[in-house]
Amino acid sequence: MGRMDGRVALVTGGGTGIGRATALLLASEGADVAVNYSRSRTEAEATADEIRALGRNAIAIRADVSVESVVREMVDRVAEELGRLDVLVNNAGTTVFVPLADLEALTEEAWDPVFNVNVKGAFYCARAAIPMMPETGGQIVNVASIAGTCGQGSSIAYCASKAALISLTKSLAISQAPRIRVNAVAPGIVNTRWVKGWDEFIRTNREATPLQRVAEPEDIANAILGLVINELVTGQVLVVDGGKTL
């Protein structure tokens, strides 16, 4: 018996990286999974195929989470095709790479996509999903970042968006209790395509981390599963960074 038997999860940005690892882990624990993607169709469909190979149901759904009407259509489709919705993992995210000191380069065109996806997108998904979740309870896990707590990252816009996501997590946890639990994970550097080719950057971060390694997507997936199954945790931000921010 898996710890997720009979449950259905929606993982945004589920075709690659943290999202893919989370979708596969939830499926291995017995969940049926909807794999959302915006551009990574091939990867999302491959992830769905892997889930089916585990004996679970899966669908790949294209949706831009920053568009509310599209999000509502996506959630309706999950409930229709998979029968219910118990778990939402808000993993979809984006960034712009702007040096923190270069304030003039952080234009409105740079700010808007980051907040639209990372903050408004997570809210739209949560708002659409919550009414679909059973009276016995549902779980939402938001994928934030240590950038949202320490102020350092790919850009000020990204840091601010992840700080906003952490605040959103707490507000939703308070407002939706006791039926819905809402938590967040805050990874440090994760070995995904975002840092592909940045060998020196990865090495520097690894050496500055007490556990002497950067995270793999599976490390973050394990943290997400833990928050989903622990029934007395809500409104919390679980830092998964090997001690980098100690």
Could you read off the pLDDT of 221-237 as tens digits, one per residue? 999 999 999 999 999 99
Bridge partners for 58 per DSSP: 33
158 a catalytic residue = yes
Predicted TM-score (pTM) of this structure: 0.96
DSSP code of 88? E
> What integer pLDDT is reported at residue 191 of this predicted model?
78
Q: What is the pLDDT of residue 55?
A: 97
pLDDT tens for each residue of 91-121: 999 999 899 999 999 999 999 999 999 999 9
Q: Give the residue extent of every domain in the chain.
A: 8-233
Mean per-residue pLDDT over the chain, rounded:
95
Q: For residue 197, name the pLDDT band (cuts at 50, 70, 90).
A: low
Q: Would you mind telling me the total number of residues written for the chain in this entry?
A: 246
Cβ 63 vs Cβ 36: under 8 Å: yes
- The CATH code of domain 8-233 reads 3.40.50.720
Average pLDDT over residues 146-173: 96
Cis upstream peptide for 178 (omega within 30°): yes
Choosing from 158, 205, 224, 239, the catalytic residue is 158
Q: How much of the chain, in percent, has pLDDT values that exceed 90?
A: 87
pLDDT in tens, 25-75: 999 999 999 999 999 899 999 999 999 999 999 999 999 999 999 999 999
Q: Rounded to whole angstroms, how far apart are CA atoms 194 and 161?
A: 17
The angle at the Cα of 31, spanning 224 to 174, to the nearest 5 degrees, equals 45
